[in-house]
Structure 1
Amino acid sequence: MTPATGPYQPDDPAEESRTNQTVATPMFEAESTMSARKRKQHARTHQRTSAKPSVTKGLRAVALFEGAKGMLVILAGCGLLSFIHKDIHTTAVRLVEHLHFNPAKHYPRIFLDATERVTDSELWALAVAALMYSGVRFFEAAGLWLGKKWAEWFGVLTGGMYIPVELYEVARGVSWPKVILLAGNIGVVAYLLYTLNRKETRRTPALQPSD
């Protein structure tokens, strides 16, 4: 007669404990590994989100300033077109007199001499150049408004190009318009450099591999 068989019952309780530990250990390690991976992935996602640069009010103020410059140049270009087939020199003389400038001074004299020799084709060329310049300013302003890095570098390069010229003009003769223009340009370039450096500082930890 064959004895009834049942579930295996180990004679040694220590052996049963070791068996359970052998089964549980790989499962625990797998769960721990998956949990660690999820934590690392969450940390990387959080770092990328934190490192993503935000568009500051100062950056948008610079964008509005650049857009305003573009608009002023467009208006100046339209004003030049209105003088085609007209005596622009006479209008320039009246403008200098209305502003109470001395026509014999350096800059009013240059302005009047230029208007005396200008032709209609030159007015068209100046108007087209003004339109192109305005387009560049609007393009830069849009990039700055959206917080684009290329727009910030473009603003630094174009703004920095004018600083030596403005310094030279201030050295030739100090006046409030020259000083304000120079200070404003230096302020814009310095702020854009500060913004670029801050973005790079925030971006660097996000690129470092996690342990």
Structure 2
Amino acid sequence: MSGLHDSELQDKSPPHGEHHYNPDPHTHPGLHVIAVVELAKGVLALLAASGLELIGPAPLQRWVHALIARFQLNPDHGAAAWLAQAINPGAVHLAAVVVLLYGVLHIIEGWGLWRAKAWASWLGCIAASLYLPFDIYAFATHRHWLEAVVVLINIIVVWVLAHDLLVRRR
């Protein structure tokens, strides 16, 4: 620890009517929870990008063809047929790069949220807000409890991050 006594670490209330942002990352448990989730998403994306590069297009094409056969889909038309034709070395490399960038972005965001950085709260708030319309649409069309949970979680994330930004602004 920094050598401060517990009494010095106690709440130092600002003058009446003033609110100061506490920059100590340990005072932001909501940011820490979101940071862990973002870090986990980033690590999973890095693993997925690595997996795409290691596996390559041939096994992916075999898996898509196996799914087409398993579900008796038309091998010449439809989304699965398009996907089977779209899988090539260039497309796999491009997908791996996109997933890698996604993962790096989430790791950076997670690190920033863990350290209670304002830019990370902005990044997370904007990103989660962009997902909300899609999540709400999915819930409206499927009306399943899982979609409701996703909407609720994203609303909570936006609220926590927006609240952090508003407290910083005061």
**Band of TM-score, shorter chain:** 0.7 to 0.9
Aligned pairs (5 A) from 1:1-211:
47=14, 51-53=20-22, 54-55=24-25, 56-94=28-66, 110-111=79-80, 113-201=82-170
Work out which structure has the larger RCO, using CA pairs closer than 8 Å and 6 or more positions apart in sequence: 2
How far apart, in 2, do the equivalents of 1:186 and 1:103 lie? Answer: 39
Write out the 4+ residue segments of structure 1 that deviate beyond 4 Å after TM superposition: 45-48, 93-97, 101-104
> What's the TM-score once normalised by structure 1's chain length?
0.60
Identity among equivalent pairs (%): 25
- Assess if the C-alpha contact under 8 Å between 2:57 and 2:92 holds in 1: no
Structure showing greater Rg? 1
Q: After TM superposition, give the deviation of residue 116 of structure 1 in Å.
A: 3.8
Shift in alpha-carbon separation, 1:174–1:89, aligned structure 2, 3 A:
farther
Amino acid at match of 1:139: I
How far apart, in 1, do the equivalents of 2:93 and 2:143 lie? Answer: 34
Runs (5+) with no aligned partner, structure 2: 1-11
- Assess if the C-alpha contact under 8 Å between 2:57 and 2:87 holds in 1: no
Matched residue count = 149
- 1:128-176 CA-partner distances (Å, limit 9, x unpaired): 1111111111111111111111111111111101111221222222334
Alignment root-mean-square deviation, CA: 2.8
> What's the TM-score once normalised by structure 2's chain length?
0.73
